[in-house]
Amino acid sequence: MTSRFFKPIQLMKINWAGLFAFLLLSLLAIILVLIVLVQHKVRHLETSYYQGLQEQAKLDEEWGRLMLEKSHLSSPGRVERVARDTLQMTVPQTQQIIILQSREP
């Protein structure tokens, strides 16, 4: 009578060389996929880095222009001209100057 079940001896007959080769090939495939993923990440980070450098250069240029504009707008001659022409301000006469005394002892 033939049994449909494996004999315990047949379970012990494992092709160790084939199993070892399969595990090595599987490990190699996983490592290759990870290498590709790391290379992709590095390229993405390099692109982001160079875009950041370009943005920094643009912002530095704009900052320089803004500092130049600030120094032009806050020059004493321009401030005096705007105060006189636009705001109709004048230098006060001596009679118009009031000096306040502080109450601190």
The confidence score (pLDDT) of residue 5 equals 63
Place of tokens 């601190």: 104
Angstrom distance (rounded) from CA 85 to CA 78: 10
Find the mean pLDDT for residues 4-8. 62
Angstrom distance (rounded) from CA 76 to CA 58: 30
Asked if the model's pLDDT at residue 1 lies above 80, the reply is no
Asked if the model's pLDDT at residue 9 lies above 90, the reply is no
Confidence band for 8, pLDDT divided at 50, 70 and 90:
low
| pTM of full prediction above 0.75 | no
The confidence score (pLDDT) of residue 50 equals 98
Confidence band for 37, pLDDT divided at 50, 70 and 90:
very high
